[in-house]
Amino acid sequence: MRIDIFSDTVCPWCFIGKRRLERALEGTPPEEPEIHWRAFQLNPDMPAEGMERSQYLETKFGGPEGAKQVYQQISSAGEGEGIDFQFKSIDRTPNSVQSHRLIRFASGQGKQDAVVERLFKAYFLEGQNIGEDAVLSELAVEAGLDKEEVDSFLAGEERREEILSEDLYARQQGINGVPCFIFNGRYALSGAQDPSVLRKVIDGLLASEDGTLPGVEAEG
């Protein structure tokens, strides 16, 4: 079974969705499933250098007060998954392309999940600027990657167009919010779904001989 997860590294619901998927997978054979993190940008027009958090909140929500209700809901959901969001520690909202490139690089090193986890924690719990190469390099090393290889990769342009094309593809497929879980390239679940919902799909696919869900129409 394969699960593709369209996600953004600056999306708090994606962090929550990761935790809920992990709960849904408890008891699943270790070789199942094959998980691939796919790129999506919540803010595709974000400047390469990012944006001051106050300016971002003003642009996105009309200011801090407009964001308060949204973040209260997210914080509550996060608490239920053991995530203590520290939104006030975030000084800058980054462009997430470089972090997506790092995740894609890590996939070839068998460290994709470790890098995704470290990025989420760094941004949402520690307020680190994951749009800076120096920060990404340090986080990558903490996740088990080689610093020299990571620095060389981040300094270049390799896989940038792939990331941008993937983001565009997601939008063309009707994905306008993340996380979005795609099971076996056929069945989509959008949003940070409850573990019971995810588990139902997982159990159905594991029990299926041909990787399909009887009575469920595939996406696309």
CA max distance for the chain: 52
The CA-based angle 70-9-171, given to 5 degrees, is 85
Instruction: Convert the pLDDT of each residue in 208-220 to its tens digit.
Output: 878 788 655 555 5
Q: What is the pLDDT of residue 152?
A: 98
DSSP letter string, 94-119 = PP-HHHHHHHHHHHTTT-HHHHHHHH
Give the separation between CA 100 and CA 184, rounded to whole angstroms: 22
CB burial string 184-206: b at 16+ within 10 A, e below: bebbbbbebbebeebbebbebbe
Of all residues in the chain, the percent with pLDDT exceeding 90 is: 84
Query: Which domains are present in the chain?
Result: 2-207 (3.40.30.10)
Give the separation between CA 40 and CA 179, rounded to whole angstroms: 9
Q: What is the DSSP letter of 88?
A: G
Instruction: Convert the pLDDT of each residue in 56-81 to its tens digit.
Output: 998 888 877 888 889 999 999 999 99
What is the average pLDDT value for the chain, to the nearest integer?
Answer: 94
**What average pLDDT does the segment 12-32 reach?**
93
Tokens of 106: 């890590």
Helix (H, G, I), strand (E, B) or coil at 203: helix
**What average pLDDT does the segment 116-145 reach?**
98
